[in-house]
Structure 1
Amino acid sequence: MLVLAASAGCGHFTLYGPVLDLGLERQLRAATPLSIRTADRMITTELQGTMNGYAWS
């Protein structure tokens, strides 16, 4: 059950319900799986510049 609560006149909503995660997606399987085959094209890329401005998490 999912409950949606709102404070009077403030326009803010609070959801109370189950926490959603990837549990369902882990259980899903393709009805018709793709066949195994080798790649038919390749794309070559070059990584340039520094990663100083990137925040690694």
Structure 2
Amino acid sequence: MKALAPFDAADYLDDEATTTQYITAALEASNTDVFLNAVLKLLHALGVKLSASPIYS
């Protein structure tokens, strides 16, 4: 059986219309985890690097 390539939604968030639809669908899901995942994917698509270190000491 042939292995499938991993899917990353960030690869398809390349224009404003698609991004708007993606975030709107995540908001309509009424699930905080879905929305936060969508925001993280959007940040990834925009090239934002996130750090796991705390902001406050």
Query: Which structure has more strand as a fraction of its residues?
Result: 1
Q: TM-score, normalised by structure 2?
A: 0.18
Q: TM-score, normalised by structure 1?
A: 0.18
